[in-house]
């Protein structure tokens, strides 16, 4: 199903503008993530799509061209998965998954076939007869997902489905979810405040800030070509270099850095993985601290820019705190963004 939103906005009583007028299209089978910090409006947008919240007048919501703007939630044929599993504790896995299908009054044979199909898809066969109370958090969330997709919803809406899980399980289920959602082939919208989660699961990510979509694109496009300072910082933690621009050079406390081109009126950002230790590099810094993280070292550097910078270094050894080092940054790796009003 293709979802089309036109001029969807939400003002709560007390004049809280939770969502500014938003246009958005999600293609058939696409997995879109709404990513942003707390309070940016992502849950409000999801609830409007679900029909749990009514948009301000003037909005249009279409499911495959059908206008559902005023349709109540139970008519929209959506599937939902929340942070809390909301499963029936006294029922088995199979019972939980079949419940919604029974309520729809489907024939028994059809229910059995659909339950088996999603049990197989979600790899729940070994637990099918267990009460859900006898499952781990990750298994329960897979049951919640299976239950949501069994009625073949037109769109699947997921609101922070992984945030109740501990860190290790979260990463595992995140990767599973990315595979599962694609197997279902259902159009899906996934709310999260975790950039790794959004990038790992979504085909496209809509980065939200203060009630609007700041930028929408593939994870790669957002990471490599952020359109605003907010997106550059939120997706991939870009660091501002500050300094003074002069032609195609940026003058910093630690030296002069070549830029890809003369860029008046721009701010220059860099990511930690693009700062290289290089004895011939144009910048000088003092190592403040070094953290060994297994695959790489994270090095805090002082004296280069006006604020401390971090570099990721994947060599077999790292400099020591207090040492002076030279750094290089390839000009094409710098992120140049038009200066924003303070």
Instruction: Catalog residues that contact ligand ATP under the rule CB under 6 A.
Output: 12, 16, 18, 36, 38-44, 193
Nearer Cβ to ligand ATP (180/202): 202
Query: Helix (H, G, I), strand (E, B), or coil: what is residue 97?
Result: helix
Nearer Cβ to ligand ATP (9/150): 9
Nearer Cβ to ligand ATP (44/139): 44
Contact 252, 334 (CB under 8 A): no
Burial class (CB in 10 A: 0-12, 13-18, 19+), 83: middle
Angstrom distances, CA of residue 234 to CA of 223, 231, 341 = 10, 5, 18
Task: Name the minimum Å distance from CB 239 to ligand ATP.
Answer: 25
Task: Name the minimum Å distance from CB 39 to ligand ATP.
Answer: 4
Task: Name the minimum Å distance from CB 78 to ligand ATP.
Answer: 17
Task: Name the minimum Å distance from CB 174 to ligand ATP.
Answer: 17
CA 325, 326, 330, 333 dihedral sign is positive
Nearer Cβ to ligand ATP (211/319): 211
Nearer Cβ to ligand ATP (21/282): 21
Nearer Cβ to ligand ATP (48/304): 48
Task: Name the minimum Å distance from CB 232 to ligand ATP.
Answer: 20
- Per DSSP, the residues of 275-307 read -EE-TT-SEEEEEEEEEE-SS-EEEEEESSSSS
Task: Name the minimum Å distance from CB 177 to ligand ATP.
Answer: 18
Q: Give me the sheet containing 297-302, strands edge to edge.
A: 276-277, 324-328, 283-292, 297-302, 309-313
Query: Cβ contacts of residue 219 below 8 Å, gap of 6+?
Result: 198, 199, 202, 205
Task: Name the minimum Å distance from CB 126 to ligand ATP.
Answer: 34
Distance CA 227, CA 42 (A): 19
Query: Cβ contacts of residue 294 below 8 Å, gap of 6+?
Result: none
Query: Helix (H, G, I), strand (E, B), or coil: what is residue 199?
Result: helix
Task: Name the minimum Å distance from CB 306 to ligand ATP.
Answer: 31
The three-state (H, E, C) secondary structure of 50-93, written as one string: HCCCCCCCCCEEEECCEECCCCCHHHCCEEEECCCCCCCCCCEH
Nearer Cβ to ligand ATP (20/112): 20
Query: Cβ contacts of residue 327 below 8 Å, gap of 6+?
Result: 254, 275, 276, 277, 278, 281, 282, 283, 284, 285, 301, 304, 311
Task: Name the minimum Å distance from CB 166 to ligand ATP.
Answer: 19
Nearer Cβ to ligand ATP (33/96): 33
Nearer Cβ to ligand ATP (10/140): 10
Phi, psi dihedral angles at 74 (to 5 degrees): -70, -15
């Amino acid at each position: 199903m293709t979802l089309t939103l036109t001029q969807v906005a939400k003002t709560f009583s007390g004049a809280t503008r939770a969502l500014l007028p938003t246009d958005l299209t999600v293609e058939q089978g696409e997995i879109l993530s709404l990513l942003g910090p707390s309070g940016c409006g992502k849950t409000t947008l999801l609830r409007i799509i679900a029909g749990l919240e009514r948009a301000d007048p003037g909005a249009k919501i279409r499911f495959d061209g059908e206008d559902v703007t005023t349709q109540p939630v139970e008519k929209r044929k959506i599937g939902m998965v929340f942070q809390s599993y909301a499963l029936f504790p006294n029922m088995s896995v199979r019972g939980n998954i079949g419940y919604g299908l029974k309520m729809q009054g489907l024939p028994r044979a059809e229910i059995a076939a659909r339950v088996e199909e999603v049990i197989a898809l979600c790899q729940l066969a070994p637990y099918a007869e267990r009460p859900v109370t006898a499952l781990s958090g990750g298994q329960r969330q897979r049951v919640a997902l299976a239950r949501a997709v069994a009625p073949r919803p037109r769109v699947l809406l997921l609101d922070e489905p992984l945030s109740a899980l501990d860190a290790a399980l979260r990463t595992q289920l995140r990767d599973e979810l990315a595979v599962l959602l694609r197997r279902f082939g259902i159009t899906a919208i996934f709310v999260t405040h975790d950039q790794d989660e959004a990038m790992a699961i979504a085909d496209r990510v809509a980065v939200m800030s203060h009630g609007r979509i700041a930028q929408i694109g593939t994870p790669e496009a957002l990471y490599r070509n952020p359109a605003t300072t907010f997106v550059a910082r939120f997706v991939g933690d870009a660091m501002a270099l500050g300094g003074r621009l002069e032609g195609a050079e940026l003058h910093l406390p630690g030296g002069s850095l070549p830029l890809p081109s003369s860029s008046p009126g721009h701010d220059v950002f860099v990511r930690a993985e693009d700062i290289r230790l290089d004895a011939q590099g144009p910048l000088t810094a003092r190592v403040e601290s070094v953290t060994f993280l297994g695959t790489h070292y994270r090095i805090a550097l002082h004296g280069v820019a006006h604020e401390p910078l971090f570099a990721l270094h994947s060599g077999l050894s790292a400099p020591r705190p207090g040492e002076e080092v030279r750094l290089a940054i390839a000009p094409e790796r710098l992120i140049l963004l038009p200066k924003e009003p303070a």
